Amino acid sequence: MRKFVVLTLVLSFILAPLAALPAVAQEEEKRWDGADDLPVNPLPCGDEPAPEPEPKEYDGGQPVNPPDLAGKEITLVDVPKLIGIGYFAATTKGQQEAAEELGNVKVTTDAPTEANIDEQITFIDNYITRGVDGILFAANDPVAITPVLKKALEQGIRVVGYDANSLPEGREWFVNQAEFNGIAKALLDSLAAEKGEDAKFGIVTSTFTTPNQARWIAEMWAYAKECHPDMVWLETLEAQEDYNLSFEQANTLIDKYGDELDGLFGMTSVATPAAADAVTQAGLCGEVAVVGLATPNAMKPFVNSGCVKSVVLWNPVDLGYAAVYVMRQVVDGNFKPGDTEVEAGRLGKLKVVNGSEVLLGPPFIYTAENINDFDF
């Protein structure tokens, strides 16, 4: 009997601390819908500077026996997620500006009119067959697009991604518009400034597998836990890259959560103006905040009316411009694995991060004070 009592006491001392641990420590809390399951790296809260990241070895792919085209004219095809929306019209504009400056680059943009990964793969495959010197892409799905990009590399075609990545082995370099954790911080801090630390919000994204949006949502989840723990995520809805569907999904969240809803995050350049439109038509400006990623021209009516306070983005014209300059430097042999920066025309020197990514810069926040200074 005494042995039983002693064993019980010993077990109670061992198990009590485990029972006191929060569920997150014992089993990681489920991420928000739309987030990927890759490692996260939330930035410090508030104005505390971020630590310098540890340098990583180059992890991109390499073309097999590419032709020597240094200084020669090259023909590129740009295959973004889709054509017909302002965002990729802006990246195309930047690509054409770079090509004109360089004088020895020709770029054609050709892609589906819907964000469909199967169609995007077909477009790329067709250009591999026709023969091009390089492929620029913005992926609809990071895993599904990788085999056709590897096929291009195996045939000696240069491959550079921008906006939305593939797996690293599918391209030589990826031009990242802004680091994912930086976007996450800007979005959540903007909502906190507008609606407070206990804001309840929904998210309208394109699809749960779209690489850049899945990364942003994962980093938002991580940053919110550390820096805005009283915020409440309600739901994430998919809306492709379709304005009407984005408008409907924003209304779904408005109708479903009513007075409980404090904010809507738009994760695409289509979803954000559509959500702002839904809030405006519902007469909820000032009650439901809209924070998201979008081009200035699409958001000017909502920012100028006072319905939207913050739009988080970068300059997509510069993003397209940088992608062409990176491609030219790669072909000329001036940018190789192990380099820490690359010369990019009017943008100056861009730094390399995460092994094989070129960073455009930190995100920019458009407000009523500055949005009319931009035209794209």
CATH of the domain at 297: 3.40.50.2300
58 in a domain, yes or no? no
320 shares a domain with 305:
no
163 is in which domain, residue-wise?
Answer: 74-178+316-361
Last residue of a domain, one of 313, 342, 370: 313
What DSSP line would sit under 312-356, residue for residue? EE--HHHHHHHHHHHHHHHHTTSS-TT-SEEE-GGG-EEEEETTT
185 shares a domain with 173:
no
- pLDDT for 16 equals 40
281 shares a domain with 218:
yes
CA gap 42, 216 in Å, rounded:
11
231 shares a domain with 345:
no
Q: Give Cα separations from 202 to 33, 122, 124, 254 (angstroms).
A: 11, 34, 35, 9
242 shares a domain with 349:
no
CA gap 240, 210 in Å, rounded:
9
Sign of the C-alpha dihedral computed for residues 250, 269, 144 and 39 taken in this order: negative
- pLDDT for 36 equals 95
Last residue of a domain, one of 289, 313, 337: 313
234 shares a domain with 87:
no
- pLDDT for 3 equals 39
What is the count of structural domains for the chain? 2
Per-residue pLDDT of the chain (376 residues; tens, 9 = 90+): 433 333 333 334 333 443 443 333 333 578 999 999 999 999 999 988 877 767 799 999 999 999 999 999 999 999 999 999 989 999 999 999 999 999 999 999 999 999 999 999 999 999 999 999 999 999 999 999 999 999 999 999 999 999 999 999 999 999 999 889 999 999 999 999 999 999 999 999 999 989 889 999 999 999 999 999 999 999 999 999 899 999 999 999 999 999 999 999 999 999 999 999 999 999 999 999 999 999 999 999 999 999 999 899 999 999 999 999 999 999 999 999 999 999 999 999 999 999 999 999 888 899 999 999 988 8
323 shares a domain with 234:
no
- pLDDT for 28 equals 56
184 shares a domain with 300:
yes
12 in a domain, yes or no? no
336 in a domain, yes or no? yes
- Judge whether 326 and 160 are in contact, CB under 8 Å: yes
29 in a domain, yes or no? no
251 in a domain, yes or no? yes
291 in a domain, yes or no? yes
Interior CA angle at 335 toward 334 and 337, to 5°?
135
- What does pTM read for this prediction? 0.80
161 shares a domain with 151:
yes
238 shares a domain with 139:
no
Which are the contacts of 74, defined by CB distance < 8 A and separation ≥ 6? Answer: 104, 105, 106, 133, 134, 327, 328, 331
Q: Which residues of 4-42 are buried (b: 16+ CB within 10 A; e: fewer)?
A: eeeeeeeeeeeeeeeeeeeeeeeeeeebbebbbeeebbb
- pLDDT for 282 equals 98
368 in a domain, yes or no? no
- pLDDT for 71 equals 97
229 shares a domain with 193:
yes
